[in-house]
Every structure is written in C-alpha cells, then in structure tokens.
Amino acid sequence: MKVICSIEESLHRPEAVRWRERMRLMRPLGDVVVVLPCSMKKPYSTSRSHRKFTGVTRGFQELILTSPFGICPRELENTYPISSYDVSTIGEWSHEEKKLVGDVLREYVGDLDVIAHVDGGYLEVCMEYLDSFTATSMKSRPTSPEALERLKRELKSYEKIPPRERLLHMLRSVAVYQFGPGGERIIPEDCRVTGRYHRKILKSDGTQIGTFMMDRGLISLSPEGGRSLYMLGVKWVEIDFNLESNTLFAPGVSDADTGIIPGDEVVIVHGGEVAGVGRAVLSGDEMVRAERGVAVRVRRRTG
C-alpha cells in the first residue's frame, strides 16, 4: 500500500512520526556514515542514482535523508512504510522539514565521521545540524562522475565493513525497528541465513527462528523466535485456552501488550508458554476490549 506524502502536513502522519521515533533506536555500523539523497523509486537501491552510489559506497554505512520520514539507514530501505511512499524529491525544504530531519540525523550519526554526498536542501540540513562533515558534491550533482570520484577518494581512508557483520546488523536493525529496544537479541551471533532473495530463512543452532520477508522488510517469527520475543516482554497476547485454530478472536484474549498496533508480529501465550505466533489485526487495547472480531491471524501454532 502506497503512503502518499505530497503536502507538508505529511510530516505528522502517524506512519512518519512512528518511523522517526524508531529511527532514534538505530545505531550506525563502522567508522563513517555516508549521507545520501532519497530517490523517487523505492526501494532506493533500485533507482538509477542509488545504483551509482552503491557502486562506491557498498561496504560502508549509508544513510538516506528524506522528508517526511527523516532518515533511512540502507539496511531498512525494504521496510514498510519507507519502501512504499511517494513524495517529491525536488523543491525547497521548509524550516519544519529541516528541523525534523536534522534532529534525527544529528542523533543518529553521533560522534562518527560523516561524508555528505548531497546537494540542495539535503546539504542545507547537514550544514545546519551537523557540527562537521565532508562534502563531496557541493560543486556538482551527486550522480556526476566528478562527485562520485571525490566520494571514492574520501572513502579510501576507511575500512569496509565485512559482509557477515553487515548482514547481522541489517537483521538486528530490523528486529529493533519491529520489537523495540532489545529486539537485536532475537538475532543471535550464530544466526545463519538461507533461502532465496525474497524469503530468507533465519536459523540458530539448527532451529528456525524466523523468516525475513523482503516484500515487507520485516521478520516473521517462528514459535522459537516467539519465545525470544516473549522473553523481551513485548508484543505478547495472552489466552486462557488451548489454541487450536489459525484465527484468534478477540473474546479469547485475556490480556495483551498495550504497545501492539495492527500489523505487528505477536507471540500468543497460554499459561506462560508460547502457543503460537502471528500478525495482529487489532491493537493490544482493542483485543482486550472488543467483544467480537479477529484479534490475531495465527501463522504457526505449537500444538
């Protein structure tokens, strides 16, 4: 589903506000952050401009600036809603846009070195909100051969991040985005990834903990992954009967995490044990209050 962000009020859309809040939980990887402009085409890496960028920046921490969502680390570009919004990439940035984007940018980069491969309003944000950075496209467009060559020269001073580290960082960033602080613990150090591009199976010690679905950019948990989620104390739905159906109706919910929103991955618990995992249809509050309707679409049951 496309998220249309054509007016400045889009800065306050629930999807945009929630995204910016969750970006404050993200941490960059490596010694340098390469700041890039967004593109009309999503995910960004499928656009012509970003194919040129990644030819130079692959192996480094990339960060895309965009309004109204603020920032997008490269590892989250497939995650909804950042993967499915429409917004103009030209024109002047308003003061409010600069502030909302600049605040989250400054918090994300912290004390790391920053290479800003941007121009226009993107560059203005960097100039106003970053104490120091290296600009590589002030005199030419970011996609120009001259600018890309300057970017390449600047990056020679830094070591590339090994592929294994980048993979774990991507999965852990997605888990933190989905489940909040501590979500990275769902992805252990021994996590192994198999499968095709659009559907990656995640295993730990030979047991499946979840599946990374590229079309949503999110992790669908197995019951084993659900146990890890339950240990975090978030996204749980409690029932007082044996789960024998793939549909959990609201009257069967005895309690639920109030932080659940529709579409969230949740773990269903009975008597302190994981009974299943699925996707929420209602919010946590609605599950408890509602007298009818579907609360959770159950994907897998343990019984």
Q: What is the pLDDT of residue 198?
A: 84
CATH number at residue 186: 2.30.130.10
Residue 115, both tokens: 């290479």
Same domain, 150 and 192: no
Q: Is the pLDDT of residue 22 over 90?
A: yes
Q: Is the pLDDT of residue 1 over 80?
A: no
- Whole-number Å distance between alpha carbons of 239 and 79: 30
Count of domains for the chain: 2
What is the SS3 assignment for 185? helix
Q: What is the pLDDT of residue 263?
A: 95
Give the predicted TM-score (pTM) of the model: 0.93
Q: Is the pLDDT of residue 269 over 60?
A: yes
pLDDT tens for 35-47 read: 999 999 999 999 9
- Whole-number Å distance between alpha carbons of 258 and 179: 13
Ramachandran region, residue 287 (left: φ > 0; alpha: ψ -120 to 50; beta: rest): alpha
pLDDT tens for 196-237 read: 878 999 999 999 999 999 889 999 999 999 999 999 999 999
Same domain, 187 and 296: yes
Count Cβ neighbours within 10 Å for each residue of 11-31 and write b for 16 or more, e otherwise.
Answer: bebebbeebbebbeebebbbe
Per the CB < 8 A criterion, the answer to whether 264 and 221 are in contact is: no
Q: What is the pLDDT of residue 3?
A: 52
For residue 147, being part of any structural domain is answered with yes
For residue 165, being part of any structural domain is answered with no
Q: Is the pLDDT of residue 89 over 90?
A: no
pLDDT tens for 111-128 read: 999 999 999 999 999 999
- Whole-number Å distance between alpha carbons of 196 and 200: 6
Count Cβ neighbours within 10 Å for each residue of 133-165 and write b for 16 or more, e otherwise.
Answer: bebbbeeeebbeeebbebbeebbeebeebeeee
CATH number at residue 18: 3.40.50.10630
Same domain, 117 and 239: no
pLDDT tens for 52-61 read: 999 999 999 9
Q: What is the pLDDT of residue 233?
A: 96
Same domain, 123 and 197: no
- Whole-number Å distance between alpha carbons of 301 and 293: 20
Per the CB < 8 A criterion, the answer to whether 51 and 84 are in contact is: no
User: HSE of 184 in the Cβ direction (CA atoms, 13 Å)?
Assistant: 11
Q: What is the pLDDT of residue 299?
A: 96
Q: Is the pLDDT of residue 91 over 80?
A: no
More confident residue, 197 or 177: 177
pLDDT tens for 274-285 read: 999 999 999 999
Q: What is the pLDDT of residue 90?
A: 54
Q: Which of 155, 190, 211 is the last residue of a domain?
A: 155
For residue 72, being part of any structural domain is answered with yes
Same domain, 7 and 151: yes
> Which residue segment(s) compose the domain that 231 sits in?
181-301
Same domain, 28 and 88: yes
- Whole-number Å distance between alpha carbons of 303 and 300: 9
Residue-level length of the chain: 303
Q: What is the pLDDT of residue 139?
A: 84
Same domain, 283 and 194: yes
Per the CB < 8 A criterion, the answer to whether 117 and 141 are in contact is: no
